Amino acid sequence: MGAVTDDEVIRKRLLIDGDGAGDDRRINLLVKSFIKWCHSGSHEEGYTQYQRMLATLSQCEFSMGKTLLVYDMNLREMENYEKIYTDIENSIAAAHEKIAECKKQILQAKRIRKNRQEYDALAKVIQNHPDRHETLKQLDALGKELQHLSHIKDSVEDKLELRRKQFHVLLSTIHELQQTLESDEKCAEESQEVHMETESKE
């Protein structure tokens, strides 16, 4: 056999000692008790060593059972931690989805707020103008006034046409009168010339 290094001894002691509950010491005591039991001279001494070995074995079994329980508990804790880890990952994924949904809701709320602000601005502009009934009433009044003005316009145009005709008749009469006066003047001149010629002959 080769030389055993300190590291190997320490490693074996850790493997034997387990979680440091004195298993190494118990095994050493068990080995010593077994050797003493083998070399015991009397029956009483052998029985005492036998009881000590049984007590040591009982302690080792108890320690082993405790270790197995701790191991099972650690396995359950590992499963529980894995479940908690999975739940946390699912919760994080759900939180990301909820955050994305909240962002969409925030964008929608901003859009709704913007629309409401535009609606309020339009409502203020609309309130500064008369309502439909008042506007129709004003349009009806303006229509009647326009109809009245149209009648007045037609009447004025008729009067203007009448005055135009009367003026035309007046101009025609003046022209005829002027021609008559010119004709009378010409006749008067001719008769004066005839009279003068008659006087000169006499």
| pTM (predicted TM-score) | 0.38
Which amino acid, one-letter code, is at 36?
K
d(CA 39, CA 33): 10
Residue 59 near residue 30, CB atoms below 8 Å: no
Residue 15 has pLDDT above 60, yes or no: no
183 vs 56: CA distance, rounded Å: 178
Quickly state the pLDDT bin for 82 (edges 50, 70, 90).
very high
Mean pLDDT throughout 71-76? 92
Question: Which tens digit of pLDDT belongs to each residue from 91-133?
Answer: 999 999 999 999 999 999 999 999 999 988 888 887 777 677 7
pLDDT given at position 202: 61
Which residue, 169, 147, 166, is CA-closest to 158? 166
Give residue-wise pLDDT tens across range 142-187.
999 999 999 999 999 999 999 989 988 999 999 888 998 888 888 8
For the cut 50, the answer to whether the pLDDT of residue 1 exceeds it is no
How far apart (Å, rounded) are the C-alpha atoms in residues 111 and 117?
Answer: 10
Confidence check: pLDDT of 78 > 60? yes
Q: Cα separations (Å) of 68 from 11, 14, 62, 79, 80?
A: 21, 17, 10, 16, 18
